Amino acid sequence: MVTTLWTLAIIFLGLTFVNIVFFVMKKSEPNKDFSAVLLRVKTWWGMFVVFCLATLFNPVVSLLSLMVLCFFGLKEYFSMMKKTRKADRRLFLWAYLAIPLQFYWIYIGWYGMFIVFIPLYVFLFLPLPRLLGKGTSGFLRSVSSTQWGLMLMVFGLSHLAYYQFATPEYGANLVLFLVVLTQVNDVIHYLISLYIGKRKVVPSANPTITWEGFIGAAIVTTIVSFLIYPYLTPLDLKFGILSGVLISLSGFFGSLTISVLKRDLLIGDREKFDTLKESYLNRVDSLTYTAPVFFHVIRYYFDFM
């Protein structure tokens, strides 16, 4: 508990310092667009409050907070889908109903159902509202888009809640470790891409993602992982270092995937695309990949999960 309190205190001071730094940078360089990184800093504060409640009081608080986060993330994802029909709205309702069920499996610790509920049962039976509604036009795009939303916004993010139920002793600190590294990776990638990045990965989907940013973020994230893993995790040296590489790589693919999905769903709708720049999707895109990937690697190699 003492280590956790010190860690939370350091993170609080760190977030305060980061806020001050970016406030000064925004004033001194008004032509630079820092909106993306400032949104992530706001997300850090929200996550910090959730983790304080979870680590100091009850993990159920964290579970409920993350369930709400999944709901709003999925809601914003659905808002990007164009030309929704009545049959699509029934499909969305079924998708929303999957959220409390997914978190119920976490609450009772039923790992087997948690891991197959969405990828197997929901995917197999989700098309039923469309079939019963006799909606054949746009069937494939509607169902597959909904399934992708559930996979990212619910299945991926719900892993954040399962850490504390899989290992009550280390769960909260593992989530803290994961989120800190994910956000460090995102911000370093963004800053390097903004100032020195030249080789864009997918310029048509996200002009801020560059190879220079990816390499620089991977190095910094790995160094930060090496520095903080002894205090937040029971991992050994090898996995303390590999965790940084793993989180950086999976976060990169998560951010890239969400960017491509947004571009595909919002083709020709520039106004909505600009509106969604401040959405939950932009704030948790990397976590949709880092949370499940890190969880399953740790669970496979370590007995405490």
Domain residues for 256?
A: 2-301
The reported pTM is 0.84
Please report, for residues 138, 154, 167, the alpha-carbon distance to residue 11 in angstroms, rounded to integers and kept in the order given.
47, 27, 22
pLDDT at residue 108 in the model = 94
What's the confidence (pLDDT) of residue 251?
93
Looking at residue 276, what is its pLDDT?
52
Mean local confidence (pLDDT), 39-48: 69
Backbone angles phi, psi at 196, to 5 degrees: -130, -5
b vs e for 239-250, b when ≥16 Cβ sit within 10 Å of the residue's Cβ?
A: bbbbbbebbbbb
pLDDT of 229: 92
pLDDT at 225: 94
Question: With 60 as the cut, is the pLDDT of residue 75 above it?
Answer: yes
Q: Where are the alpha helices (DSSP H) in 29-85?
A: 35-56, 59-79
Residue 64's pLDDT is 86
Q: Give the pLDDT score at 150.
A: 94
| 200 bridge partner residues | 210
Report d(CA 260, CA 247) in Å as an integer. Answer: 20
**Most confident among 3-17, 62-76, 198-212 (mean pLDDT):** 62-76
Task: Answer yes or no: is pLDDT of 128 > 80.
Answer: yes
What is the predicted pLDDT for the residue at 268?
Answer: 46
Statement: residue 247 has pLDDT above 50: yes
Best-predicted range by mean pLDDT among 121-130, 189-198, 217-226?
217-226
Question: What is the Cα–Cα distance from 239 to 36, expressed in whole angstroms?
Answer: 30
Q: How confident is the model at residue 235 (pLDDT cuts 50, 70, 90)?
A: very high
For a pLDDT cut of 70, what percent of the chain falls above it? 82
So what's the pLDDT on residue 172?
80
Could you tell me which residues come within 8 angstroms of residue 219 by beta carbon, excluding any fewer than 6 positions away? none
Tell me what pLDDT residue 133 has. Answer: 63
Confidence label for 135 from pLDDT (cuts 50, 70 and 90): low
Q: What is the pLDDT of residues 147-171, one digit of tens each?
A: 999 999 999 999 988 998 898 888 8
Torsion over CA: 302, 218, 173, 37 (sign): negative
Spatial distance between the Cα atoms of 70 and 61, rounded to a whole number of angstroms: 14
Residue 86 confidence (pLDDT): 67
Mean pLDDT of 22-49: 71
pLDDT (average), residues 100-122: 95
Q: Decide if pLDDT at 265 tops 90.
A: no
Q: What is the structure's pLDDT at 190?
A: 83
The residue-averaged pLDDT of 20-28 equals 77
The confidence score (pLDDT) of residue 98 equals: 94
Work out the average pLDDT over 103-127. 93
**Please, which pLDDT band fits residue 104 given cuts at 50, 70 and 90?**
very high
Instruction: Provide the pLDDT for residue 10.
Output: 74
Number of structural domains in the chain: 1
